[in-house]
């Protein structure tokens, strides 16, 4: 699934209208319809949760959707543990929903689901075709056949008639929605949605943020159509308005044309909508969100559902924006998906489809029947010191669990007696370090060890030592095969301009935001301000694969591509979780995966394992790094 910037979105929009000749009003109509369908799906879920008979009758589709999407409001069956975050529902892939169906995935992270492809879960089972609100239509015998009257169609000699179920709501009379409309195209989308909601029997009131006369182009056409249908409208600041006196709010104030913090009536309406306590469905992005960086301006809508139009926007995947968006549903509006490919969109959501189709990863990780430990590669790990020997153990064990044939752990010799036997599957290679610390003289020993290994991982629990820059420089310049650099090895890099170092083989850096801040020479807050943008520019400028860890880890390549991972959860914020990731990526590299494949697939598997491990606990906070390894 492609992830775009506001500028890219505008270009694809223009291309569709000008080159393909699809009228702008047609795109807006599709957008309005998609938004209305998601409002109706939300009403259904709410009714079915509340046990309203109407909700139940139409609830088959809505229930299916609820099973897919991790959202407390969605009524997820088997959701045993709390979750608070966003889900992404889209046309391309369905993700962790299958895990949900398998029973109680705890998560606050996002999930992806979609209409076309069933979850493959990287070789895990479960899933099946799942539906979103719109697809619920297919479930229902048809509005014209007496709304699910048993067997009406089938009994009548195979004759059946389908209706527009996604735009039909039993019990619509109990709903009253406000549509907050800005004066741009985002407002136009909301006005189009208002007509469809009205058609479904839902009472709708339009709330204009600006004088309706100030609307132009397609938005003005929508204004006139809504008026011609007699949909009541008020103008903010002019007419009386109580935002709490409704059953839900459509936020169509600001979209990708928004610049800076919301001003004037926009800001006041956003604050009042949030304060109303009503469910909010945002058109395209929550108003007040920076569509590119995920920054939330003050104020910013806190949506229950965001109906993202055409392509996922970067800001919806980056925190805090991802938290403000609620459940994200990506809906097609007639802009061909191929435009993103042709237009060179750099960023993709890391779904099973992206892993297989774009990164060519074999998710099943098939092993040859004739394979032996030599087939699956040998990792050399340079890690651990007296106070942080556990980091080396975690990386080494994770590499083994990731499926490589052999792991050699190079460690200061004083540690040897203490770690012998703790992981019998490991090979240990003591290097001179009588005090349990690394020293500059060990570079030659590590280099010698690396010659017969398939990849080298450096850093977990390494500590800093005199001459460490020269030490790392030698390994950087002279080790054969791919290299993973983590933890203190990143801090060594941060102290020098390593771009002058030469290297013939690819390197993966795996910083957490603090380490990234040191590498880039900026604050951690600046790192988090636009993780995707920073990861992309750093990877390109430094010629490395960059894995910027943290919620929604970004994997960026020197070629200027990035993948956003949404597996994992906050329970993984525990000491050593990063060491486990280094081990997993190294284990995959040793098995012959390319660096971009190993980095992306490693991050993805690490998150999945974290989710699986958390399900085994009463609370995800109980998760420790070793649990992630055991869940691989
Ligand atoms: N062709 C179409 O009709 C399509 C429309 N789309 C919709 O159009 C949106 C983009 O529309 P626009 O480019 O018209 O822009 P928006 O509708 O996002 O907003 C632009 C308007 O808001 C005002 N504004 C901008 N920043 C503000 C701030 N901080 N405070 C107060 N007012 C502010 C501007 O003066 C302008 O009038 C998308 O997000 C999407 O919803 C897309 O769905 C694609 C297709
Ligand atoms: N909220 C979260 N959602 C998803 N993954 C997370 C979250 N918090 C932490 N993680 C993951 O856990 C790992 C923590 O790594 P790191 O900070 O390097 O820990 P350590 O240095 O203790 O090993 C990273 O892979 C990170 O992406
Ligand atoms: K909006």
Ligand 2 contact via 553 beta carbon (within 6 Å): yes
Among 28, 30, 211, 257, which residue has the most ligand 1 atoms within 8 Å of its CB, making it the best to mutate?
257
CB 298 within 8 A of CB 265: no
pLDDT of residue 53: 55
Write out 519-574 in H/E/C secondary structure: HHCCCHHHHHHCHHHHHHHHHHHHCCEEEECCCCCEEECCCCCEEECCCCCHHHCC
Sequence-distant (6+) residues with CB within 8 A of 609 are 628, 629, 631, 632
Q: Measure the CA–CA gap between 99 and 125, rounded to whole angstroms.
A: 9
Q: Which helix (H) or strand (E) is 333 found in, with range?
A: none
Contact present, 185 and 219 (Cβ < 8 Å): yes
Backbone angles phi, psi at 312, to 5 degrees: -60, 135
pLDDT at 89: 52
Q: Which of 342, 360, 389 is the last residue of a domain?
A: 342
Instruction: Evaluate whether residue 360 is within a structural domain.
Output: no
For residues 510 and 484, the answer to whether their CB atoms sit within 8 Å is yes
- For residues 420 and 526, state if they share a domain: yes
Strands 176-181 and 305-309: unpaired
Please give the distance of CA 420 from its chain centroid, rounded to a whole number: 40
Q: Same domain, yes or no, for 472 and 528? A: yes
Residue 266 CA: which ligand is closest? 1
Which tokens in the block code for residue 14? 């223009």
**CATH number reported for the structural domain that contains residue 608 in this entry:** 3.40.1190.20
**What CATH number did the domain enclosing 130 receive?**
3.40.50.10260
Residues 365, 402 contacting (CB under 8 angstroms): no
Specify whether 185 is located in the same domain as 271: yes
Last residue of a domain, one of 342, 360, 391: 342
pLDDT score, position 373:
78
Q: CB count, 10 Å around CB of 519?
A: 22
Q: Rg for the chain (alpha carbons), in Å?
A: 27
User: Which residue's alpha carbon is at the smallest distance from atom 9 of ligand 2?
Assistant: 573
Domains identified in the chain, total number: 2
- Same structural domain, 545 and 610: yes
Q: Is 527 in the pocket of ligand 1 (CB under 6 A)?
A: no
- Residue 496, φ and ψ in degrees, nearest 5: -145, 165
Residue 188 within any structural domain of the chain: yes
The pairing of strands 483-485 and 406-412 is unpaired
Q: Determine the atom of ligand 1 nearest the C-alpha atom of 28.
A: 3
In a domain, 9, yes or no: yes
Residues belonging to the chain:
632
Q: Report which ligand 2 atom has the smallest distance to the Cα of 606.
A: 25
**Three-state secondary structure of 253-286:** CCCCCCCCCCCHHHHHHHHHHHHHCCCEEEECCC
Shared-domain flag, residues 377 and 335? no
Same domain, 516 and 558: yes
Could you tell me if 388 and 429 lie in one domain? yes
Please indicate, yes or no, if residue 231 is contained in any of the structural domains. yes
ipTM of this complex prediction, to 2 decimal places: 0.93
Going by their DSSP bridges, the two strands 483-485 and 455-458 should be labelled as: parallel
Which stretches within 426-523 are classed as H helix?
443-450, 468-478, 487-494, 513-520
- 20 CB neighbour count, 10 Å cutoff: 11
The parts of the chain modelled with pLDDT lower than 50 are 54-87, 90-153
| Residues with C-beta atoms within 5 A of ion ligand 3 | 251, 282-283, 287
Residues 389, 450, single domain; the answer is: yes
The tokens of 534 are what?
A: 């920073």
Any alpha helices (H) in 19-151, and if so which ranges?
24-50, 53-57, 59-68, 97-101
* Å from CA of 572 to ligand 2 middle: 5
The verdict on residue 432 lying in a domain is: yes
* Residue 251 annotated as part of some ligand binding site: yes
Find the 616 Cα to ligand 2 centroid distance in Å: 19
CA of 257 to the centre of ligand 1 (A): 4
Sheet holding 176-181, edge to edge: 112-114, 88-90, 327-331, 305-309, 280-283, 248-252, 176-181, 203-208, 233-235
Whether 581 lines ligand 2, by a CB cut-off of 6 Å, is: yes
Q: Which of 179, 181, 256 to mutate to test the pocket of ligand 1 (most atoms within 8 A of CB)?
A: 256
Q: Binding residue per annotation — 168?
A: no
Does 563 reside within a domain?
yes
Q: Is 542 annotated as a binding residue?
A: no
Chain-centroid distance of CA 629 in Å reads: 22
Ligand nearest to the CA of 179: 3
Q: Any residues with CB less than 8 A from the CB of 96 and at least 6 apart, and which?
A: 70, 105, 107, 111, 112, 119, 567, 611
Structure tokens at 4: 């775009």
* Predicted local distance difference test score (pLDDT) of residue 46: 94
Q: Are residues 308 and 393 in the same domain?
A: no
Cα atoms in the 13 Å half-sphere on the side-chain side of 539: 30
Chain Cα centroid distance, residue 97: 13
Burial of 201 (0-12, 13-18, 19+ CB in 10 A): middle
- The answer to whether residues 171 and 84 belong to one domain is yes
Q: Do 325 and 412 have their domain in common?
A: no
Q: Is the CB of 533 under 6 A from ligand 2?
A: no
Ligand 2 atom 1: the closest Cα is on which residue?
570
For ligand 3, the distance from its centroid to the CA atom of residue 593, given in whole angstroms, is 41
> Could you tell me the distance, in angstroms and rounded to a whole number, from the CA of residue 253 to the centre of ligand 3?
5
Q: Can you give the residue range of the structural domain that contains 174?
A: 1-140+166-342
Q: CA nearest 280: which of 245, 313, 319, 306?
A: 306
**Residue 406 beta carbon below 6 angstroms from any ligand 1 atom:** no
**What pLDDT score does 363 carry?**
94
Query: Does some domain include residue 353?
Result: no
Q: Confirm whether residue 579 is marked as ligand binding.
A: yes
| Cα–Cα distance, 521 to 467 (Å, whole number) | 21
- State residue 151's pLDDT score: 45
Q: Is 334's C-beta closer than 6 angstroms to any atom of ligand 1?
A: no
Q: In whole angstroms, what separates CA 461 from the centre of its chain?
A: 29
CA of 514, closest atom in ligand 2: 17
**Residue (of 291, 215, 209) closest to 257 by Cα position:** 291
Q: Is the CB of 309 under 6 A from ligand 1?
A: yes
Does 238 sit in the ligand 1 pocket, CB within 6 Å? no
Asked whether 352 and 122 are in contact (CB, 8 A), the reply is yes
Q: Are residues 389 and 332 in the same domain?
A: no
Closest CA to 202 of 235, 242, 229, 222: 229
391 labeled part of a ligand binding site:
yes
> What residues are paired with 113 via a beta bridge?
89
Q: Minimum-distance ligand to the CA of 550?
A: 2
Which residue is associated with the tokens 């058609």?
Answer: 199
Encoding tokens for residue 79?
């959701």
Is there a domain that residue 85 lies in?
A: yes
How much helix, strand and coil, in percent to the nearest 5, is found in the chain?
45, 15, 40
Q: What is the best residue among 223, 250, 255 to mutate for testing ligand 1's pocket, by most ligand atoms within 8 Å of CB?
A: 255
Q: Known binder of ligand: residue 282?
A: no
Q: Is the CB of 316 under 6 A from ligand 1?
A: no
Q: Which ligand does the CA of 250 lie closest to?
A: 3
């Amino acid at each position: 699934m492609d992830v775009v910037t506001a500028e890219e979105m505008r270009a694809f929009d223009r291309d569709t209208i000008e080159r393909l000749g699809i009228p702008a009003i047609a795109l807006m109509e599709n957008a309005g319809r998609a938004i209305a369908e998601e409002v109706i799906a939300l009403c259904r879920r709410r009714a079915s949760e509340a046990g309203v008979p109407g909700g139940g009758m139409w609830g088959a589709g809505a229930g299916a959707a609820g099973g897919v999407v991790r959202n407390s409001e969605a009524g997820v069956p088997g959701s045993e543990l709390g979750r608070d975050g966003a889900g992404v529902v889209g046309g391309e892939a369905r993700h962790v929903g299958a895990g949900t169906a398998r029973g109680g995935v705890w998560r606050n992270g996002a999930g992806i689901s979609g209409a076309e492809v069933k979850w493959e879960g990287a070789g895990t089972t479960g899933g099946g075709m799942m539906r979103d609100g719109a697809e619920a239509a297919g479930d229902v015998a048809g509005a014209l056949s007496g709304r699910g009257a048993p067997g009406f169609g089938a009994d009548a000699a195979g004759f059946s008639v389908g209706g527009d179920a996604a735009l039909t709501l039993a019990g619509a009379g109990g709903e009253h929605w406000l549509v907050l409309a800005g004066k741009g195209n985002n407002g136009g989308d909301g006005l189009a949605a208002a007509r469809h909601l009205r058609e479904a029997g839902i009472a709708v009131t339009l709330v204009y943020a600006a004088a309706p006369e100030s609307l132009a182009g397609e938005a003005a056409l929508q204004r006139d159509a809504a008026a011609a249908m007699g949909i009541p409208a008020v103008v903010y600041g002019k007419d009386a308005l109580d935002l709490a006196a409704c059953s839900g709010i459509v936020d169509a104030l600001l979209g990708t044309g928004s610049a800076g913090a919301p001003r004037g009536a926009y800001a006041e309406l956003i604050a009042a909508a949030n304060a109303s306590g009503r469910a909010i469905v945002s058109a395209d992005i929550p108003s007040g969100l920076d569509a590119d960086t995920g920054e939330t301006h003050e104020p910013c809508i806190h949506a229950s559902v965001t109906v993202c139009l055409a392509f996922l926007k970067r800001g919806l995947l980056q925190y805090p924006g991802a938290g403000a968006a609620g459940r994200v549903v990506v809906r097609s509006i007639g802009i061909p998906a191929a435009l993103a490919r042709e237009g060179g969109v750099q960023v993709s959501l890391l779904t099973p489809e992206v892993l297989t189709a774009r990164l060519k990863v074999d998710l099943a990780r098939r092993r040859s029947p004739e394979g032996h430990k030599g087939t699956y590669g040998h990792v050399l790990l340079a890690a651990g010191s007296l106070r942080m020997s556990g980091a080396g153990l975690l990386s080494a064990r994770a590499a083994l669990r990731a499926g490589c044939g052999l792991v050699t752990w190079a460690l200061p010799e004083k540690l040897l007696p203490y770690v012998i036997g703790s992981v019998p599957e490991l090979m240990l290679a003591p290097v001179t370090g009588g005090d349990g610390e690394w020293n500059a003289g060990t570079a030659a020993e590590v280099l010698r060890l690396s010659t017969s290994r398939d990849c080298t991982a450096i850093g977990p629990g390494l500590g800093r030592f005199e001459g460490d820059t020269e030490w790392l420089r030698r390994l950087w310049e002279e080790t054969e095969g791919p290299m993973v650099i983590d933890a203190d090895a990143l801090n060594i890099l941060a102290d020098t301009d390593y771009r002058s170092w030469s290297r013939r083989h690819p390197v993966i850096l795996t910083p957490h935001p603090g380490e990234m801040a040191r590498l880039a020479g900026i604050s951690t807050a600046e790192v988090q301000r636009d993780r995707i943008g920073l990861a992309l520019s750093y990877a390109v400028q430094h010629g490395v694969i960059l894995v910027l860890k943290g919620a929604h880890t970004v994997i960026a390549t020197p070629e200027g591509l990035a993948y956003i991972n949404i597996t994992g959860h906050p329970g993984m914020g525990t000491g050593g979780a990063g060491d486990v990731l280094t081990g997993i990526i190294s284990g995959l590299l040793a098995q012959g995966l390319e660096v971009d494949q190993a980095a992306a697939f490693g991050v993805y598997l690490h998150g999945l394992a974290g989710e699986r491990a958390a399900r085994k606990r009463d609370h995800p906070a109980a998760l420790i790094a070793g649990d992630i390894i055991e869940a691989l």
